[in-house]
Structure 1
Amino acid sequence: MYRIYINDTVLIIADFVPGGIGPNQRIDVQSFDFKEFYKHVKKGEGSVYVLLTDEPRRMFKKIRKPFLTIKAAGGVVKNEANQYLFIFRKGKWDLPKGKLDDGESTKIAAEREVAEECGIKVLSVGGKLCKTWHVYEDRGQTVFKKTSWYKMKAKKQKLIPQLEEDITEARWIDAGDFSFVRQNTFPLIKDIISLLEV
């Protein structure tokens, strides 16, 4: 199964229909055109759609082949008080992440981005939590961003949001207060949060 995030919309490519998906959320694979779909949903209010296919991997590759792919990495940072690091960017709660520099590994990039965007020192970078695919426009070009997310540890410390990256706040949030973040974030971040609650 693959998930493509477009602002508040999620496109699931799978060989089964996940629970809670109604008939109006299923897309006919024969007539599917991603460019048209993207145009339709990029400014929409958000929903979940399922593209049902016998070969999800092949369909996913076919969808993203015409577009530029950018690699990025981010961190899900936990401190000793069982709090997680979130940033507030462009009116939404988010997690620190950014594009890879030339020749940089995803793990190194994730640590660097957390340090730059929040002004903190990371103690350790653990294993990969997940990877996500997010579609957006950059200078009129549709881009697929592949983000590798890593688990990290840091001491509770003063946070310095990177204002030049439109981050107006960085905050430690208790694991029990994720509902606060969920009220004003993207489906992609909600899905990452759900991995922390297992």
Structure 2
Amino acid sequence: MHTIFVGDKPIYLTTKVDKEKDFKVYLLKSVNLPKVIRMLNRTDVKAVYLVDKNEEKLLKKFLKKLPNVVAGGGKVFNKKGKILFIYRNGKWDLPKGKTEKGETIEETAIREVEEETKVKGLKLGEPLPTTYHIFKRNGRYKIKITYWFEMHTESKGKLKPQKKEGITKVKWKGKKKTQKALENSYANIKLLI
């Protein structure tokens, strides 16, 4: 099963569904995706299940339904084990951004973390789960596919938010402050933390 978020509400891609309760079920091949997105945004429906019989092709079929934006980002740890957060659009988030032409996804992730926070000396660690969410830009829905990596740094330099990207704060957060930040974060980020 794959999960794509519309805000904090999930669209689940699956091959089978149990009894319907607080969610709706549609066939993946014939679903009107913009209509489903509007329903999730405007009603109290908690989730949507899109069903198809082929488990291996679920995600591939879904990603063909809207334009894709590919991004890379990092869950960055310092020597004290604190996690690097950014504050943008009224929510705590992890640094990430779109790929540029000719870049590998690893290069994107490192560049975006450095640009958005001014952290230095990043060392790439293990890949983390890829996340998916739907957003609207210039009147069109798109799917953001974010490839995440664990990263480490020993940098003690001053952090600086990338204001032109709408980032107003950059903070290292320990366990307690991370839990507090997650109360005002995105569903995808909660999954990664």
TM-score normalised by L of structure 2: 0.88
CA contact (8 A) 1:9 1:45 kept: no
**Can you give the 5+ residue segments of structure 2 that lack an aligned partner in the other structure?**
none
- 2:14 corresponds to which letter in structure 1? A
Separation (CA, whole Å) in 1 of partners of 2:167 and 2:44: 23
Unaligned runs of 5+ in 1: 194-198
Report the equivalent of 1:196: none
Residue 9 of structure 2 corresponds to residue 23 of structure 1 = no
Distance 1:45 1:96 in 2: 30
Letter in 1 for 2:49: V
Instruction: Please state whether the residue corresponding to 2:103 is helix, strand or coil.
Output: coil
Percentage of identical aligned residues: 31
Whether 1:83 and 2:91 are equivalent positions in the alignment is no
**Alignment RMSD (CA, Å):** 2.3
Hey, what does 1:55 align to over in structure 2?
Answer: 54
Contact kept? 2:14, 2:58, Cα under 8 Å = no
Distance 2:25 2:169 in 1: 39
Note the C-alpha offset of 1:135: 1.1
**CA 102–38 in structure 1, closer or farther in 2 if over 3 Å, else same:** same
2:126 aligns with 127
Alignment coverage as a number of residue pairs = 191
Match of 2:140 in 1: 141
| Equivalent runs, 1:28-107 vs 2, <5 Å | 28-29=26-27, 32-42=31-41, 47-107=46-106
Cα distance in 1 for residues equivalent to 2:50 and 2:121: 39
Partners of 1:29 and 1:132 in 2: CA distance: 22
Query: Per the alignment, do residues 159 and 105 of structure 1 end up closer, same or farther by CA in structure 2, a change over 3 Å counting?
Result: same
Q: Please name the residue that 2:117 is paired with.
A: 118
- Deviation of 1:45 after TM superposition, in Å, equals 6.7
User: 2:151 corresponds to which residue?
Assistant: 152
Partners of 2:7 and 2:119 in 1: how far apart?
28
Checking the alignment, whether the CA contact within 8 Å between 1:2 and 1:56 is kept in structure 2 is no
Asked whether the equivalents of residues 8 and 45 of structure 1 are also in contact (C-alpha less than 8 Å), the reply is: no
TM-score (norm 1): 0.86
